[in-house]
Chain A
Amino acid sequence: MESHKLALRVEKLERFLIFITSAGAEVRYSAAPVDEIVAKHGAGLDFLSYCIKYGRDGSSFGEAWISAVKSEAENEGFSAKDCELLLGFGEGFGTSDTNGQISHCRLYSQLAAENLKNAKDEQARKSRLYQMLGIFAGISLSLLLI
């Protein structure tokens, strides 16, 4: 169960990293508005689907992003630290000119990559631990039965 959560976090961070990269490219080459970018590249991230939904219900993009992260991101597999990162990205997304946005996407892509690296390390470290625990539990149980 715990191992699955770690794997899920890695998967979601990878998807978010792809989203940021795509968003940066969209800003640079198509100047598409943020809601269009989220709708086009947000597949696979539940909180982005909720962000679109809240926006359609009448919230501004900023409010929709905050609500979606607060209500969905942790359930989806992101850690509390990741959620802070998501909130930070949403706060600045769309609020500056093209160069500013490209820098913003680059910065958050680096931060997300760092979180992803930590998540992968944690997954590798704890997975081994869980495997060892399983083996020891199995051996202990065998000894008890003998």
Chain B
Amino acid sequence: METELKTNGRFDTAANALCGKIGDCLHALPPEVKNSAQEIRLRAGRPVSLCCTGGIYFLGRSGRLTRCPAEECLTATKEDLDGSFKNICGYSVYSHENEIRNGYITVYGGHRVGICGTAVFKDGNVCGMKDISSINVRVAREVIGCADAIMAELKSSLSGGLLLAGAPSSGKTTILRDIARQLSCGENGESKKVTVVDERGEIAGTYLGVPQNDLGPCCDVLDGYPKAGGIMQAIRALSPQFIVCDELGTQAEASAVEQSLNAGAAVVASIHAGSIEELLKRRQAAGLLRTGAFENIVMLGGKVPGTVSGIYKTGDLLAEDFRLADTYSVGDACGIYGIA
């Protein structure tokens, strides 16, 4: 499995989720396209598209990419979507019921596949999905060393907690993964006990109990746990020095983060926010910052994923009435990471 992942490459394992001619065309793409692809999108009756670092491209029948959705583009049929959906579920739809209800399934390699269709209700709640109309495969990348600049800048202050903020596809998860790896490997000092609460399976990419991504020798993975419950579980059972989790947002998660602070574990987490102003304007984000669990905020931005646009001290931001203060650029913040 491990060898296959390395040989076929990340893009190919993501393309394996899609069946038939679409999968074949994607496998035949040139390596440079595969390397820059962030998402593969299928929509019923629409051309297959690839979201790359340079923008959106459409897949032609001959396997060539084009910028405009012309007639010669490869169109995803309903059968393609149904076949791909079954393939993504490993022909076991019933064993992915919860994930389908949440709208995504994580496949081998840690790629998250978003599913869109018609909601099925039971007792007023969404209990499933039917008539799949689009599929979005997010290609998970593992970029070893992409957090070097952040780690070098923050040094020991990381034990005060870190919140990574950025817009979607800005590289938050990839950087989180590398931070977890570096802490666990002890690349900047001693190895630390790290627990990854991987609700969506994107950080570790666990498949049949084995993390597909390198998270070092001292990392425990709570795969599929809801973040709030997972953080509490980690505190109770795993005595972590660092807890890493992706995309915090709810009140329950903020409370769990506060608990981890009392237990002496530092939290390294990410949150959606396009700018520091947006971050501070959001009630739940501001609530998270006020827990005191995050000494540092790293803002990601720029055209290339993984670009650090600024590092901030939470206390300063809160004290100066949300004015951007104590901002300093990371040494190399010009998009060298190439992260999806």
Distance of A29 Cα from B128 Cα, bound (Å): 19
Asked if B46 CB lies within 8 Å of chain A CBs, one says no
Which residues in B have their C-beta under 8 angstroms from that of A97? 93-94, 97, 128
Which residues in A have their C-beta under 8 angstroms from that of B243? none
Which residues in B have their C-beta under 8 angstroms from that of A100? 94
Q: Mark A27-57, 1 if CB is under 8 A from B, else 0.
A: 1000111110000000000000000000000
Q: Contact between A33 and B91 (Cβ–Cβ < 8 Å)?
A: yes
Asked if B89 CB lies within 8 Å of chain A CBs, one says yes
Asked if B86 CB lies within 8 Å of chain A CBs, one says yes
Q: Contact between B91 and A94 (Cβ–Cβ < 8 Å)?
A: yes
Determine how close the nearest CB of chain A comes to the CB of B132; give it in whole angstroms. 12
Q: Contact between A60 and B87 (Cβ–Cβ < 8 Å)?
A: yes
Q: Contact between B91 and A95 (Cβ–Cβ < 8 Å)?
A: yes
Q: Which of A52-92 contact B (CB under 8 A)?
A: 60-62
Which residues in B have their C-beta under 8 angstroms from that of A34? 90-92
Distance of A25 Cα from B128 Cα, bound (Å): 21
Q: Contact between B86 and A27 (Cβ–Cβ < 8 Å)?
A: no
Asked if B95 CB lies within 8 Å of chain A CBs, one says yes
Q: Contact between A33 and B92 (Cβ–Cβ < 8 Å)?
A: yes
Which residues in A have their C-beta under 8 angstroms from that of B94? 27, 31, 94, 96-98, 100-101
Which residues in A have their C-beta under 8 angstroms from that of B92? 31-35, 94
- Is the interface on chain A under 10, 10 to 19, 20 to 34, or 35 or more residues? 10 to 19
Q: Mark B74-93, 1 if CB is under 8 A from A, else 0.
A: 00000000000011011111
Find the residue from B89, B94, B128 having the highest chain A CB count within 10 A. Answer: B94
Distance of A130 Cα from B95 Cα, bound (Å): 49
Which residues in A have their C-beta under 8 angstroms from that of B128? 97
Which residues in A have their C-beta under 8 angstroms from that of B89? 94
Q: Contact between A62 and B95 (Cβ–Cβ < 8 Å)?
A: no
Q: Contact between A33 and B90 (Cβ–Cβ < 8 Å)?
A: yes
Nearest CB in chain B to that of A30: its residue? B95
Which residues in A have their C-beta under 8 angstroms from that of B90? 33-35, 61, 94
Which residues in A have their C-beta under 8 angstroms from that of B91? 33-35, 60-62, 93-95
Q: Contact between B93 and A95 (Cβ–Cβ < 8 Å)?
A: yes
Which among A32, A95, A101 is the interface contact of B86 at CB below 8 angstroms? A95
Q: Contact between A94 and B97 (Cβ–Cβ < 8 Å)?
A: no
Q: Which of B208-263 contact A (CB under 8 A)?
A: none
Nearest CB in chain B to that of A98: its residue? B94
Nearest CB in chain B to that of A90: its residue? B91
Determine how close the nearest CB of chain A comes to the CB of B331; give it in whole angstroms. 47
Q: Contact between A33 and B86 (Cβ–Cβ < 8 Å)?
A: no
Asked if B19 CB lies within 8 Å of chain A CBs, one says yes
Nearest CB in chain A to that of B129: its residue? A97
Distance of A36 Cα from B86 Cα, bound (Å): 16
Distance of A96 Cα from B94 Cα, bound (Å): 6
Q: Mark A8-35, 1 if CB is under 8 A from B, else 0.
A: 0000000000000000000100011111
Find the residue from B86, B92, B128 having the highest chain A CB count within 10 A. Answer: B92
Distance of A43 Cα from B19 Cα, bound (Å): 29
Which residues in A have their C-beta under 8 angstroms from that of B93? 94-97
Which residues in A have their C-beta under 8 angstroms from that of B19? 60
Distance of A60 Cα from B89 Cα, bound (Å): 11
Q: Mark B285-300, 1 if CB is under 8 A from A, else 0.
A: 0000000000000000
Q: Contact between A31 and B95 (Cβ–Cβ < 8 Å)?
A: yes
Determine how close the nearest CB of chain A comes to the CB of B21; give it in whole angstroms. 14
Which residues in B have their C-beta under 8 angstroms from that of A62? 86, 91
Q: Contact between A32 and B87 (Cβ–Cβ < 8 Å)?
A: no
Determine how close the nearest CB of chain A comes to the CB of B171; give it in whole angstroms. 32
Distance of A141 Cα from B95 Cα, bound (Å): 64
Distance of A35 Cα from B92 Cα, bound (Å): 9
Which residues in A have their C-beta under 8 angstroms from that of B86? 60, 62, 94-95
Distance of A98 Cα from B87 Cα, bound (Å): 17
Residues of B within 8 A of A (CB): 19, 86-87, 89-95, 97, 128
Q: Beyond the given A35-B90, A100-B94, please list 14 additional residue pairs across the A-B interface where CB-CB is below 8 A.
A: A31-B95, A31-B97, A32-B95, A33-B90, A35-B91, A60-B86, A61-B91, A62-B86, A93-B91, A94-B86, A94-B90, A97-B93, A97-B94, A98-B97
7 A-B pairs with C-beta separation under 8 A: A31-B97, A32-B95, A33-B90, A60-B19, A94-B89, A94-B94, A95-B93
4 smallest CB-CB distances across A and B, nearest first, come from A61-B91, A33-B92, A94-B91, A31-B95
